[in-house]
Amino acid sequence: MALEFTDSNFEEKVLQSEKVAVVDFWAQWCGPCRAIAPIIEELASEYEDSVLIGKVDVDSNQELAMQYSIRSIPTILILKGGEVLEKHVGAITKPALQSKIEQHMA
């Protein structure tokens, strides 16, 4: 299951982690966000031991949304060592997202 990242736990869970982190910025009312939700959940299960995969609800965590200049959702960030390696705005297919994750795992 995808983790839930918030304004209060993001630093500890994502920025201080040595693992690659995939963060889905989303909102309940966003259709494309709901469309990619199953993909995020599947990848969270498949990469459970090697990659942090989680979601940030932009309505509840506006500080994070502002910090990362999230203007459209869904936006997916791939981070490692506290640095944003990649930013994808809009819906994405599972193979495309898997490919992005694999690139940064090496």
Q: Quote the CATH superfamily of domain 3-105.
A: Glutaredoxin (3.40.30.10)
- The residue ranges of every structural domain in the chain are 3-105
Report the 10 Å Cβ neighbour count for 10. Answer: 21
Report which of 48, 28, 29 is spatially closest to residue 40, judged by C-alpha positions. 48
Q: Which pLDDT tens digit goes with each residue over 79-103?
A: 999 999 999 999 999 999 999 999 9
pLDDT above 70 coverage of the chain, percent? 100
3-state SS assignment for residue 42: helix
SS3 content of the chain, % helix, strand, coil (to 5): 40, 25, 35
The residues carrying an active-site annotation are 30, 33
